[in-house]
Amino acid sequence: MATFKDFRNKVKPNWCPGCGDFSVLAAMQRAFANLGLEPEDVALVSGIGCSGRISGYINAYGFHGVHGRALPIAQGLKLANRDLTVVAAGGDGDGFAIGMGHTVHAIRRNVDITYIVMDNQVYGLTKGQTSPRSQIGFKTKSTPNGSIEAAIAPMEMALTVGAGFVAQSVSSDLKQLTRVIEEGIKHKGFALINVYSPCVTYNKINTYDWFKENLTNLEQEDSYDPSDRQMAMQKLMEHEGLVTGIIYQNKERKSYEEMVKGFKEVPLAQQDLQLSREKFNQLVSEFA
């Protein structure tokens, strides 16, 4: 059985020392091992940005896509090979700016994949500009006088478009983060996990200390019921989205694969796709 060390490769991450993405990488490796997966069972698809490098740092199938397009690739992989555990990963710019359309439609489509967003509330790879997750007043090179745009509220958004699994964690809590990723992977359908992953170089506001003071852990509230969608929205609004844990899970909603009529149990990747001469001629004749 694989251990988390089996999901390591010889490529050394070149993130800034202290970057929250290191913990996300470690949590993924631990989650895969805890679930009894082998490296050949996992496909990790990433986008562009500091977080996009993560697909090259894990010993598994990896695909480094273009900006905002990790989810279409990940969904295609899963539909072609339903036996793979498919995880998409990217940053808040990747998922909530150029890729927001794909995020919304992936949520409502509900293909059985897990999407992990490393939310540092700034564009780090391009040297520090305001992102869709930056708060009003946030000063960067692109907003020297402070941002005047409201920040995207991804967890609330996910609930409004019908997400079946919504969770949030912070990279400083490796134990919770690992557990949340495990539960997201086990969930049958699309799982959205937003991870507060502080940028130690370009975001001096939303620091590890800041999150420690401002986050509320829903797992510590005995009365909280993650199956109650209305309660989930109320908690998010009450704490302005600054909560961690499994926020909402609907175990009754069927995945996309379960809804497609005739979707074969044998993955497309393992099916015999060769056409007989008779079938080929039949198809060609349709265009005559």
pLDDT at residue number 61: 97
User: 142-151 pLDDT, tens per residue?
Assistant: 999 999 999 9
Copy the structure tokens of residue 227: 């199956």
Count how many domains the chain has. 1
Give me the percent of the chain exceeding a pLDDT of 70.
100
Residues 6 or more apart whose Cβ sits within 8 Å of residue 108: 161, 162
pLDDT at residue number 273: 83
User: 219-247 pLDDT, tens per residue?
Assistant: 999 999 999 999 999 999 999 999 999 99
Residues 6 or more apart whose Cβ sits within 8 Å of residue 255: 110, 111, 112, 188, 189, 190
Amino acid identity of residue 278, one-letter, is E
Residues 21/50, Cβ–Cβ less than 8 Å:
yes
- Of 136, 126, 156, 140, residue with least CA distance to 51: 126
What does pTM read for this prediction?
Answer: 0.94
Domain that includes residue 183, residue range: 4-285
pLDDT at residue number 1: 86
CATH number of the domain where residue 246 is located: 3.40.50.970
Residues 126/199, Cβ–Cβ less than 8 Å:
no
User: 39-94 pLDDT, tens per residue?
Assistant: 999 999 999 999 999 999 999 999 999 999 999 999 999 999 999 999 999 999 99
pLDDT at residue number 12: 94
